[in-house]
Amino acid sequence: MTTTKVALSIAGSDSGAGAGIQADLKTFSALGVYGCTAITALTAQNTEKVAKIHEVPADIVEAQVTSIMADMPPAVIKVGMVYSRQVIDAVAKPLRKAKAPIVLDPILAAGTGAKLLKDDALDSFVSRLIPLATLVTPNRMEAEKLSGVTIRNEGGDGIEAAKKLKALGARNVIVKGGHFGKKTVTDILLLDDNKVVEITNPRVDIKESHGSGCNFSAAVTAYLARGMALEEACRMANEYVHDAIKNAVAVGRGLPVTNPLSSIYKDAMRHRVLAELQAAVDRLVSLDGLYRLIPETQTNFAYALPDAANHSEVAAVRGRMARAGNAVVQVSRVEFGASRHMASAVLAYMSIRPATRAVANIRFGQEVLAACKTLFKEQVSSYDRSKEPADVKKKEGSTISWGTRAALAKNPKAEVIYHKGDVGKEPMITVFGRSPAEVVYKIEQILKIC
């Protein structure tokens, strides 16, 4: 049995799962923290609007908080949507006794514009909750509302607003800079000792995303629970949310939803791609007679991440696979970015048929081509390198991309593509598949008849 840190989120439920309790739990899990919840309100919302809000009775809110604190004491507590004076009182009562740091995310309105804190509850929010906060995490509009300072820039105005919030009782304040419309986003962190820290990232090319504020405060909570100092927790949370916004998903007709699980998915897929490719390479080099299919420039084998956009997201064999007498050896390990040629081929192929993510090259020969045509029939196509446009030929590494697309334009069903070479260029056959195992199977069939 293993132990893990516990974080408690006191917030509203978002039926669209982009913000609130649902976003917090995703972020806690992604960052290795066990998440508990106390739900303050049930919202009926999607990416376009908040349709209805049902306030959870105050005594039930308090009971949720005290129940968790009695048995599963959280390392850090996050407070999000509290909605009413009654709920604020119910939350503040047990939190006054809490020994854990408290991250307060002032949820005043949804990204779609709906009010998530009643007008008559603002004074209670300021007087009852801000003095309990280890860190308050407002965006520009929230900081203006709470501090009374008009914020025209992240620097002077943002710092002044942070100081006002600190004077209200918060130990630390971070004013998030995502709503200034600049090419960079700068968060202003005012620490307990009055040190001012600027945390800057390039702006993601997206107007707005649903859930980024919740994900940020939840990430700070998780990093604090894992023992990081507050400044470092804010820096790490900033990077984490920057990546989550870059990978926001369009799941409805309204705002795109911040994706706090994108980093886990990417890491898992990278591991899976490397493992599948290495297993296929092991199988391929063990095939009897494979040496007969190795070209003079040797063979490589590539496998791309889903939605791969560049060569660094395609794994291949560093140094290729080389003929050694009547055997074939893998020269070095499989890794991402190891082959520009095969990466170019599979990226071009995926731009037309995204599910096909693996490719290997083999020797061109009339007997090999005949075997391919016998086995794959209408799934074979070709391109003529002598007809490559001059502007493509001038651009280093563009030939294979152009040729792959040209072959697919001739035959969209092609899974084997060949060319007969050009001056100083060896002719070649490329074999594509949805997985490395499928490519190995095809090459094995080719070997059996040539």
| Position 373 confidence tier, pLDDT thresholds 50, 70, 90 | very high
Give the pLDDT confidence score for residue 396 in this predicted structure.
Answer: 59
| Sequence ranges of the chain with CATH classification 3.40.225.10 | 266-449
What is the phi/psi pair of residue 103, to 5°? -100, 120
Give the pLDDT confidence score for residue 14 in this predicted structure.
Answer: 97
Least confident of 21-30, 146-155, 322-331, 399-408: 146-155
For the cut 60, the answer to whether the pLDDT of residue 179 exceeds it is no
Rounded CA separation 434/306 (Å):
11
Q: Evaluate whether 149 touches 161 at the Cβ level (below 8 Å).
A: yes
Rounded CA separation 303/339 (Å):
10
Give the pLDDT confidence score for residue 182 in this predicted structure.
Answer: 64
Which CATH architecture does the domain made up of 6-260 adopt? 3-Layer(aba) Sandwich (3.40)
Q: Evaluate whether 426 touches 391 at the Cβ level (below 8 Å).
A: no
Higher model confidence: residue 439 or residue 242? 439
Rounded CA separation 271/262 (Å):
14
For the cut 90, the answer to whether the pLDDT of residue 293 exceeds it is yes
Give the pLDDT confidence score for residue 390 in this predicted structure.
Answer: 77
For the cut 80, the answer to whether the pLDDT of residue 392 exceeds it is no
Q: Evaluate whether 403 touches 427 at the Cβ level (below 8 Å).
A: no
The alpha helices in 247-389, defined as continuous H runs, are 262-285, 340-350, 366-376
Burial of 397 (0-12, 13-18, 19+ CB in 10 A): exposed
- Side chain identity at 61, as an amino acid letter? V
| pLDDT tens digit sequence for 273-286 | 999 999 999 999 99
**What mean pLDDT comes out for the span 76-90?**
98
CA-closest candidate to residue 355, choices 409, 310, 305, 302: 305
Give the pLDDT confidence score for residue 181 in this predicted structure.
Answer: 59
Express as a percent the part of the chain with pLDDT over 70.
98
Q: Model-level pTM greater than 0.85?
A: no
Rounded CA separation 227/362 (Å):
52
**Residue 78 forms beta bridges with which residues?**
9, 103
**What mean pLDDT comes out for the span 367-374?**
97
Give the pLDDT confidence score for residue 98 in this predicted structure.
Answer: 95
- Side chain identity at 298, as an amino acid letter? Q
What is the phi/psi pair of residue 449, to 5°? -120, 10
Strand positions, DSSP E, 3-49: 6-14, 34-45
For the cut 90, the answer to whether the pLDDT of residue 188 exceeds it is yes
| Position 178 confidence tier, pLDDT thresholds 50, 70, 90 | low
Rounded CA separation 35/8 (Å):
6
DSSP 112: T
**What mean pLDDT comes out for the span 3-19?**
96
Q: Mean pLDDT, the chain, as a whole number?
A: 94
Cα distances from 176 to residues 40, 171, 188, 191, 241, in angstroms, run 24, 16, 7, 14, 12
| Position 397 confidence tier, pLDDT thresholds 50, 70, 90 | low
For the cut 90, the answer to whether the pLDDT of residue 341 exceeds it is yes
Rounded CA separation 245/258 (Å):
5
Which CATH architecture does the domain made up of 266-449 adopt? 3-Layer(aba) Sandwich (3.40)
What is the phi/psi pair of residue 120, to 5°? -80, 0
For the cut 60, the answer to whether the pLDDT of residue 409 exceeds it is yes
| Sequence ranges of the chain with CATH classification 3.40.1190.20 | 6-260
Give the pLDDT confidence score for residue 315 in this predicted structure.
Answer: 98
Least confident of 46-60, 206-220, 230-244, 365-379: 206-220
For the cut 70, the answer to whether the pLDDT of residue 180 exceeds it is no
